């Protein structure tokens, strides 16, 4: 049942039993091997636990799963790597240096934003180039753009540096930060903050699309997400040689180096609870694993609805989970071409004719629209080894409504893919139809069926103010002791900086393994 894939170097069941035998360390079980789960495992390993990561799929990574197909390497999800210090910290905790394992390259421009009329904007981390681009597009908005960046920095200092790894375990923690949130105008939306500072309609789009990368509608999401502009400016946008999967492999290596294990094809069916505390898990095949602490990296709504029995839940009842708002989903098409498109940047945002109305269809009306705005990823711009010689690897993603749209994706996927292909061929990739040599898609149905995401949402709970911080499912479960949550559906939220920060919070809320050993001996 346990398949060891050469590239994933994970542990099978027999090896796992050997590892566990005679190991006196308290045992931590982590459900799911997304970046939140892998980071949690490294942190718990560094704090004295024997860690077992249980992953339902046949390889680790979650949304960052790697597909290898016809000589092409496709990272399934995250491709914009920012705040690399959050990864470096994990290597340091394991006594290693990240640079020994990961060859991280800066990406420039960060994004090329292409408008429907063909005009484009080169979005970079260089202050002078950015001001020049703003001046070219909207001369009257240069000063407003500077003010927007100042606001972004102020939000970053509080929203990321001070609150990003706060557990928000009680209402009073929330009350303490309210004055800061009011001062920073967190009650505004991302769009409203951009409109306060700049007038040009296209520049407003350039300054607001980033919240979509973490599942937030800029017209509804709190302006706290404007911190992304400063985060990217400060730390850059990067891509590792070998693809995002090299971070997954690197983290699995750190866990194994700490004497932990990552078991694939190990789907958790239940979190076991004994006298009000998590005491282990039961796998889908009936195997029980005892644990001193359990960390769920599975989608928070799914964790509560499907893994923790209703009698143990007071706050996250089925009704409340159903009533909550969920992020949009994504349609992702991975494809390889037998030619290279040298003029196409690593990251392109290809905007359609509508912005606000399209997002209204996706987030509010839950309608699958005929037009779209796309993000095109061309990793071979930075690392040609991800495709055979002379070829390009791509993925294109289109934000779409989650499964409440009622779309039958089995019937719709190919028609939708063809429409995207046509658009790319017209706007960016001439001759695309004849150049495609490999192809696969990921639909909202796959987010639900393959990744256990409630309603097929690509980023978990929607990041609106009323579902942020204390209002989100807590990192230290409100329902049972010794259960913890990491990943996109808990605080602070989706995106790699978010899920790595959620794991960082464990250091504040999970007891050090020594404390459990002492208690056991007392």
Ligand X SMILES: Cc1cc2nc3c(=O)[nH]c(=O)nc-3n(C[C@H](O)[C@H](O)[C@H](O)COP(=O)(O)OP(=O)(O)OC[C@H]3O[C@@H](n4cnc5c(N)ncnc54)[C@H](O)[C@@H]3O)c2cc1C
Interface with ligand X (CB under 6 A): 31-37, 54-57, 62-64, 77-80, 213, 267-268, 297-298, 330, 332, 397, 451-452, 458-459, 487-488, 494-496, 499
Please, what is the minimum distance in Å from the beta carbon of residue 467 to ligand X?
15
Backbone angles phi, psi at 128, to 5 degrees: -65, -45
Task: Give how far the C-alpha of residue 420 lies from the chain's centroid of Cα atoms, to the nearest Å.
Answer: 23
User: 73, 243 in Cβ contact below 8 A?
Assistant: yes
Nearer to ligand X, 297 or 407 (CB): 297
Cα separation, 378 vs 374, whole angstroms: 13
Residues 6 or more apart in contact with residue 435 via CB below 8 angstroms = 337, 338, 339, 429
Please, what is the minimum distance in Å from the beta carbon of residue 131 to ligand X?
25
Please, what is the minimum distance in Å from the beta carbon of residue 79 to ligand X?
4
Task: Give how far the C-alpha of residue 413 lies from the chain's centroid of Cα atoms, to the nearest Å.
Answer: 23
Please, what is the minimum distance in Å from the beta carbon of residue 267 to ligand X?
4
Using Cβ positions, the residue closest to ligand X within the complex turns out to be 34
Please, what is the minimum distance in Å from the beta carbon of residue 518 to ligand X?
31
Nearer to ligand X, 243 or 495 (CB): 495
Nearer to ligand X, 26 or 498 (CB): 498
Cα separation, 1 vs 324, whole angstroms: 36
Nearer to ligand X, 268 or 278 (CB): 268
Determine the 3-state secondary structure of 296 from DSSP: strand
Nearest partner of 497 among 173, 163, 258, judged by Cα: 163
Nearer to ligand X, 59 or 138 (CB): 59
Long-range contacts of 310-313 (CB under 8 A, 24+ apart): 312/273, 312/276, 312/479, 312/480, 313/479
Compute the half-sphere exposure of residue 181: CA atoms within 13 Å on the CB side of its CA: 19
Nearest partner of 429 among 396, 452, 406, 385, judged by Cα: 396
Write down the residue that tokens 């004055």 correspond to. 179
Nearer to ligand X, 66 or 516 (CB): 66
Nearer to ligand X, 35 or 160 (CB): 35
Q: Where are any strands of DSSP class E within 421-470?
A: 436-442
For residue 207, cis peptide bond before it (omega within 30 degrees of 0)? no
User: 230, 21 in Cβ contact below 8 A?
Assistant: no
Please, what is the minimum distance in Å from the beta carbon of residue 162 to ligand X?
20
Please, what is the minimum distance in Å from the beta carbon of residue 479 to ligand X?
17
In order, the DSSP letters of 82-146 are --THHHHHHHHHTT--HHHH--EEE-SSSEEEE-TTS-EEEE-S-HHHHHHHHHHH-GGGHHHHH
Residue 336 in tokens: 């390889």
Nearer to ligand X, 212 or 368 (CB): 212
Nearer to ligand X, 32 or 144 (CB): 32
Please, what is the minimum distance in Å from the beta carbon of residue 458 to ligand X?
4
Please, what is the minimum distance in Å from the beta carbon of residue 136 to ligand X?
27
């Amino acid at each position: 049942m346990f398949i060891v894939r050469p590239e994933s170097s994970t542990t099978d069941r027999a090896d796992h039993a050997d590892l566990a035998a005679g190991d006196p360390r308290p045992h931590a079980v982590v459900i799911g091997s997304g970046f939140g789960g892998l980071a949690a495992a490294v942190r718990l390993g560094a704090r004295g636990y024997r860690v077992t990561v249980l992953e339902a799929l046949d390889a680790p990574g979650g949304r960052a799963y790697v597909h290898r197909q016809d000589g092409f390497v496709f990272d399934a999800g995250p491709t914009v790597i920012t705040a690399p210090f959050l990864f470096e910290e994990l290597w340091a905790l394991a006594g290693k240096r990240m640079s020994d394992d990961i060859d991280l390259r800066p990406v420039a421009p960060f994004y090329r934003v292409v408008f429907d009329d063909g005009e484009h904007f080169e979005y970079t981390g260089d202050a002078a180039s950015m001001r020049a681009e703003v001046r070219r597009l909207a001369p009257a908005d240069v000063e407003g753009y500077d003010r927007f960046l100042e606001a972004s920095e102020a939000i970053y200092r509080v929203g990321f540096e001070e609150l990003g790894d706060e557990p928000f375990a009680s209402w009073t923690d929330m009350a303490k930060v309210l004055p800061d949130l009011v001062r920073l105008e967190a009650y505004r939306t991302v769009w409203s903050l951009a409109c306060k500072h700049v007038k040009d309609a296209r520049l407003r789009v350039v300054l607001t699309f980033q919240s979509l990368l973490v599942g937030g509608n800029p017209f509804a999401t709190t302006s706290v997400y404007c911190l992304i502009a400063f985060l990217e400016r400060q730390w850059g946008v990067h891509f590792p040689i070998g693809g995002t999967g090299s971070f997954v492999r690197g983290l699995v290596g750190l866990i194994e180096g700490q004497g932990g294990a990552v078991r694939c094809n190990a789907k958790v069916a239940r979190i076991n609870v004994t006298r009000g505390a998590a005491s282990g898990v039961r796998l889908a095949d009936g195997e029980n694993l005892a644990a001193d602490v359990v960390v769920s990296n599975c989608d928070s709504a799914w964790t509560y609805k499907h893994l923790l029995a209703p009698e143990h839940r007071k706050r996250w009842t089925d009704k409340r989970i159903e009533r909550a708002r969920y992020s949009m989903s994504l349609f992702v098409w991975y494809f390889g071409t037998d030619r290279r498109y040298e003029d196409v940047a690593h990251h392109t945002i290809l905007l359609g004719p509508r912005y606000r109305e399209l997002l209204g269809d996706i987030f509010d009306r839950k309608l699958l629209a005929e037009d779209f705005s796309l993000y095109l990823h061309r990793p071979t711009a930075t690392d040609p080894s991800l495709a055979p010689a002379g070829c390009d690897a791509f993925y294109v993603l289109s934000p779409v409504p989650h499964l409440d749209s009622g779309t039958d994706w089995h019937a719709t996927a190919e028609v939708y893919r063809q429409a995207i292909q046509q658009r790319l061929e017209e706007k960016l990739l001439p001759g695309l139809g004849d150049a495609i040599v490999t192809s696969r898609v990921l639909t909202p149905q796959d987010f639900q069926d393959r990744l256990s995401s409630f309603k097929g949402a690509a980023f978990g709970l929607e990041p609106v103010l009323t579902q942020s911080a204390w209002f989100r499912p807590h990192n230290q479960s409100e329902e049972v002791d010794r259960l913890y949550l990491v990943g996109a559906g808990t605080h602070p939220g989706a995106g790699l900086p978010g899920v790595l920060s959620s794991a960082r919070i464990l250091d504040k809320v999970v007891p050090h393994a020594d404390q459990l050993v002492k208690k056991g001996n007392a």
